[in-house]
Amino acid sequence: MNHLFRHPESLVIDSGHRHQPAAHWPIPTQYRWPIAAALLWLVLSHSQNLACDNGGRRQWCEAPAGPVRQSTPDPLTTPSGREQTSQATAGGSGVQDEAGQPRPDLAIGDVTVTQFGQRLRLTWPASADQRQELRLPRLAATVRSCQWSGEEGPEIGVVPEPTEWLLRWTGPAPANAAIDMVLESEPLSLPQVPPIQPTADGSVWLAAHLAATHGRNLRFEPQPYKNTIGYWTLAEDHAVWSLTVDQPGQYRIAVLQGCGAGQGGSDARIELLRGATVVATEDFKVEETGHFQNFAWRSLGLVQIEEPGPYQLKLSARRIARAAVGDFRAIHLVRQAQ
């Protein structure tokens, strides 16, 4: 720098990659000292912000004034991060663990149930590793997947019963086995299901997984390809939804139903109850759709609801024409424009 002040004529500039001495500039001699001083000031004032290369990453050589913002380590480029990630995602489910919530209300026998959001982890004592089934209370949710956590193992089947679900497999379970069941919504037991709330326009969507089934055979079938109230082989069985109506008026009833080939023609009934009082009734015949899981919308009649408040909707069978009534995936109360 001292040389710069003593010999400003030695300054060079880059002109098309050819370095030329400043003495060749078309600048009068009396201006060279001020220009040299200005350039020196610029170099010194910006030196602390010059970037340098450190291991292939651009970093500031000196921290700027003010609070220092700490960078977050990349979990996939640090050894500890790789170890933690591989441990968290190990196993057949490939689902990363977070803090779990014990669910003793869902535990049957020696099974321990832990909730991770919309996933349930089921474990049991090592002394029971030879088991080939376990039970859960029937949940108000559709099953997205059910598989082993930690290792590969035999396929797990979900077998729904009216009040419980059986998880079954053939062959030995993996050592230190655990099962991850992933659901489409929060894993609520039936007593935890709140009344179904209307949408903004007052309509109410009654999904199959939110229905309480009553009787010996009728049940909610949670498999993704089913997601329905089914196995309806007894006329005395029925299903009930609890709901809230917030806008009086006229509502059209629509049902999403399926019925196997040659099984159509059963007589069904929908009743809307306020307490023990039936305020509306709609009778209809179940139509054949070619398969019980071939669902089709049916638009039924109109009902008038005079008062807002809590209601129940009951779906029942008056007569079964063949082997079964049909499958029902949803009922929609569609509020009509006034």
Expressed in percent and rounded to 5, the helix, strand and coil fractions of the chain are 15, 40, 40
- Domains in the chain, please, with CATH? 2-60 (no CATH), 101-183 (2.60.40), 194-335 (2.60.120.260)
Calpha distance 88→97 (Å, rounded): 6
Average pLDDT, the chain: 81
Confidence of residue 230 (pLDDT cuts 50, 70, 90): very high
Burial 31-64 (b: 16+ CB within 10 A, else e): ebeeebeeeeeeeeeeeeeeeeeeeeeeeeeeee
- Over residues 29-57, the mean pLDDT reads 54
Output the pTM of the full model.
0.71
Q: What pLDDT is attached to residue 97?
A: 57
Token representation of residue 42: 């610029």
Calpha distance 18→14 (Å, rounded): 6
Confidence of residue 35 (pLDDT cuts 50, 70, 90): confident
Q: What pLDDT is attached to residue 64?
A: 36
Whether residue 214 has pLDDT greater than 80: yes
Q: pLDDT: is 195 or 130 the higher one?
A: 195
Calpha distance 271→253 (Å, rounded): 11
- Opening angle at CA 64, ends 63 and 69, nearest 5: 70
Confidence of residue 254 (pLDDT cuts 50, 70, 90): very high
Confidence of residue 30 (pLDDT cuts 50, 70, 90): low
Confidence of residue 175 (pLDDT cuts 50, 70, 90): confident
Write the DSSP symbol of residue 260. Answer: B
Which tens digits make up the pLDDT trace of 102-117?
999 999 999 999 999 9
Distance of CA 34 to the CA centre of its chain: 68
Quick one: residue 85, left, alpha or beta (phi over 0 = left, psi -120 to 50 = alpha)?
Answer: alpha
Give the residue from 36, 44, 330 showing the smallest Cα distance to 205: 330
Amino acid occupying residue 250? Q
Contacts of 4 (CB under 8 A, 6+ apart): 10, 11, 36, 40
Q: How many CB atoms lie within 10 A of CB 242?
A: 16
Contacts of 247 (CB under 8 A, 6+ apart): 198, 202, 308, 335
The region of weakest confidence among 114-128, 193-207, 218-232 is 114-128
Calpha distance 96→74 (Å, rounded): 16
